[in-house]
Chains A and B, each alone.
Chain A
Amino acid sequence: MLENIATGFEMFFTLGNLLAITAGVFLGVTVGAIPGLTATMAVALALPFTFNLDPVTGILLLVGVYKGGVFGGSITAILIRAPGTPAAACTLLDGYPLAQKGQAGKALNMALYASCIADFLSNLSLIFFASLIAGLALAFGPPEYFWLICFSLTVVISISGSSLTKGLISGLLGLLTSTIGLDLVYGTQRFTFDNFNLMGGVSYIPLLIGLFALPEVIDFYVRKVAPFTVKTADKSRVSLAELKSSLVTIIRGSFIGVIIGTIPGAGATAAAFLSYGEARRTSKSPETFGRGNIEGVAASEAGNNGVAGATLIPLLALGIPGDVVTAVILGAFMLQGLTPGPLMFQDNITIIYAIFIGIMLSSIVLLGSGKLAIRYFARIADIPRHILLPIVLMFCVFGSYAVQSQMFDVGVMLAFGVLGYIMMKIDMAAAPFLMGFILGPLFEDNLRRSFLISEDITIFFRSPICWIFIVITILSAFVGIRRELRATRAKRDALRASGSA
Chain B
Amino acid sequence: MSDTRSDTDARRGRRREIVFAALTLLASAVFAFVVIPAGVTTPASVKHLPLSPAFLPYVLTAGVGLFALIHLLEAIFAAHIPGEDEASLGTHPRWKSRVLMLVGLLVIYLLLPDQLGMPLTAILVTITLMAIGGERRPLILLGVGIGVPVLVYLFFAHVAQVPLPMGLFEDWM
Q: Which residues of A contact B (CB under 8 A)?
A: 31, 34, 37, 41, 45, 162-163, 165-166, 168-169, 172-173, 175-176, 179, 183, 185-186, 188-193, 217-218, 220-225, 227, 385-387, 389-391, 393-395, 397-398, 401-402, 405, 407, 410-411, 414, 424-427, 444, 447-448, 451-452, 455, 488, 491-492, 495-496, 499
| Other-chain residue from B43, B45, B85 in contact with A424 (beta carbon distance below 8 A) | B85
* B1 contacts A by Cβ under 8 Å: no
CA of A391 to CA of B129 in the docked complex: distance in angstroms?
A: 9
Residues of A within 8 A of B165 (CB): 407
B19, closest chain A residue (CB): A426
A221, closest chain B residue (CB): B98
CA of A69 to CA of B79 in the docked complex: distance in angstroms?
A: 46
Residues of A within 8 A of B67 (CB): 165, 168-169, 172
CA of A224 to CA of B51 in the docked complex: distance in angstroms?
A: 51
Residues of B within 8 A of A168 (CB): 63, 67
Further contacts, 9 of them, CB under 8 A, given A168-B67, A222-B91: A41-B160, A162-B84, A169-B71, A175-B56, A386-B133, A394-B152, A402-B156, A411-B110, A491-B81
Closest 10 CB pairs of A and B: A386-B133, A427-B83, A390-B129, A188-B41, A183-B53, A165-B71, A402-B162, A191-B39, A221-B98, A390-B126
Residues of A within 8 A of B51 (CB): 185, 448, 451-452
| Other-chain residue from B60, B91, B145 in contact with A223 (beta carbon distance below 8 A) | B91
Q: Which residues of B contact A (CB under 8 A)?
A: 6, 16, 20, 24, 35, 39-43, 45-48, 50-51, 53, 56-57, 60-61, 63-64, 67-68, 70-71, 74, 78-79, 81, 83-86, 89-93, 95, 98-99, 101-102, 106, 109-110, 113-114, 118, 122, 125-126, 129-130, 132-135, 140, 144-145, 148-149, 152-153, 155-156, 159-165
Contact A176 B64, beta carbon cutoff 8 Å: yes
Q: A218-B99, A223-B91, A394-B148 are in contact. Are A495 and B135 (CB under 8 A)?
A: no
9 residue pairs from A and B, CB less than 8 Å apart: A165-B74, A189-B40, A190-B40, A218-B102, A222-B95, A223-B91, A394-B125, A452-B51, A496-B79
Contact B78 A169, beta carbon cutoff 8 Å: no
CA of A495 to CA of B148 in the docked complex: distance in angstroms?
A: 49
Residues of A within 8 A of B47 (CB): 455
Contact A390 B130, beta carbon cutoff 8 Å: yes
Residues of A within 8 A of B35 (CB): 191
Contact A405 B50, beta carbon cutoff 8 Å: no
Q: A191-B39, A387-B133, A394-B122 are in contact. Are A225 and B89 (CB under 8 A)?
A: yes
Residues of A within 8 A of B155 (CB): 34
CA of A425 to CA of B51 in the docked complex: distance in angstroms?
A: 37
B141 to A: closest C-beta gap in Å: 9
CA of A142 to CA of B114 in the docked complex: distance in angstroms?
A: 44
Residues of B within 8 A of A391 (CB): 126, 144, 148
| Other-chain residue from B46, B106, B129, B156 in contact with A389 (beta carbon distance below 8 A) | B129
Residues of B within 8 A of A186 (CB): 43, 45-46, 53
| Other-chain residue from B71, B132, B135, B153 in contact with A221 (beta carbon distance below 8 A) | B132
B38, closest chain A residue (CB): A193
Contact B125 A224, beta carbon cutoff 8 Å: no
A37, closest chain B residue (CB): B160
CA of A173 to CA of B42 in the docked complex: distance in angstroms?
A: 21
Residues of B within 8 A of A188 (CB): 40-43, 53
Contact B83 A398, beta carbon cutoff 8 Å: no
Contact B130 A191, beta carbon cutoff 8 Å: no
Total cross-chain contacts (CB, 8 A): 186
Residues of B within 8 A of A176 (CB): 57, 60-61, 64
A425, closest chain B residue (CB): B85
Residues of A within 8 A of B71 (CB): 163, 165-166, 169
Residues of A within 8 A of B113 (CB): 401, 407, 410
CA of A224 to CA of B94 in the docked complex: distance in angstroms?
A: 9
Contact A390 B16, beta carbon cutoff 8 Å: no
| Other-chain residue from B81, B93, B118 in contact with A398 (beta carbon distance below 8 A) | B118
Residues of A within 8 A of B149 (CB): 394
CA of A458 to CA of B77 in the docked complex: distance in angstroms?
A: 41
Contact A389 B91, beta carbon cutoff 8 Å: no
Residues of A within 8 A of B156 (CB): 398, 402
CA of A389 to CA of B98 in the docked complex: distance in angstroms?
A: 14
B61 to A: closest C-beta gap in Å: 7
Residues of A within 8 A of B161 (CB): 45
Residues of B within 8 A of A394 (CB): 122, 125-126, 148-149, 152
Residues of B within 8 A of A172 (CB): 60, 63-64, 67
A189, closest chain B residue (CB): B41
| Other-chain residue from B40, B61, B102, B135 in contact with A387 (beta carbon distance below 8 A) | B135
A214 to B: closest C-beta gap in Å: 9
Q: A162-B81, A414-B110 are in contact. Are A386 and B130 (CB under 8 A)?
A: yes
B3, closest chain A residue (CB): A499
B165 to A: closest C-beta gap in Å: 8
Residues of B within 8 A of A427 (CB): 83-86
A349 to B: closest C-beta gap in Å: 36
B121 to A: closest C-beta gap in Å: 8
Contact B46 A397, beta carbon cutoff 8 Å: no
B91, closest chain A residue (CB): A222
Residues of A within 8 A of B68 (CB): 165, 169
| Other-chain residue from B50, B61, B135 in contact with A386 (beta carbon distance below 8 A) | B135
CA of A495 to CA of B80 in the docked complex: distance in angstroms?
A: 9
Residues of B within 8 A of A405 (CB): 162-163
B62, closest chain A residue (CB): A172
B54 to A: closest C-beta gap in Å: 8
B129, closest chain A residue (CB): A390
B59 to A: closest C-beta gap in Å: 9
Residues of B within 8 A of A220 (CB): 133
CA of A37 to CA of B159 in the docked complex: distance in angstroms?
A: 12
Contact A179 B60, beta carbon cutoff 8 Å: yes
A404 to B: closest C-beta gap in Å: 10
